[in-house]
Amino acid sequence: MTMSRSRIYPLYTHAQIHERVLELGAQIAKEYEGKDLVVIGLLNGVYQFFSDLTRNTDLDFDVTFMQVASYGGGTESTGEVKILHDLDRSIRGRHALIVEDIVDTGLTLNKVRKLLLDRDPASLKICSLLDKPSRRRVQVPVDYVGFTIEDHFVVGYGLDLDGKYRNLPYVGIYNPA
């Protein structure tokens, strides 16, 4: 299958994303000032957003990752969430911030959130680059949102289709037609 960038229509430019990341970083730094914070990236799609967000959050904090999967190689969530790599440190008694690339059905974050709440953090919040509320099957609280989008399949800036397009510096709508 040959994939073409001509099927991708820009939604948010790199400059728009950068500006929003700076705003989110400032908001997070203000809220967590003086607190013991652990920032948790949900791999794989979050890597660009996570890197930019953590570089632009003026705080001392701990960084760790989880790897979860729910898409299985297509454009629709399978509804089954698999934890491929768990945290490598404890969050008990610490403030935890989950950083996600996109909240779609809510299934992935709901499972991750319940798992982490069972580990007794002082607080647990969620930051997502993109929020797609029209697709929500499970409600999850998203405390920090970069952009709210309509029901489009998006790629770029870490988001992918079968592992492709993650390297694009912008977020675009993928149109298979």
Per DSSP, the residues of 149-170 read --S--EEBTTB-BTTBSTT-SS
Q: How far apart are the first and last CA of the chain?
A: 14
Strands 171-174 and 8-12: antiparallel
Residue type for 139, please?
A: Q
33 DSSP assignment? T
**Residue from 104, 118, 120, 160 carrying the catalytic annotation:** 104
Could you give the 3-state DSSP secondary structure of residue 35? Answer: coil
Give the residue among 59, 70, 60, 78 at the shortest CA–CA distance from 100: 70
Strands 123-131 and 8-12: unpaired
Q: Let me know if 104 is a catalytic residue.
A: yes
Give the residue among 101, 106, 112 at the shortest CA–CA distance from 154: 101
Residues annotated as catalytic are 104
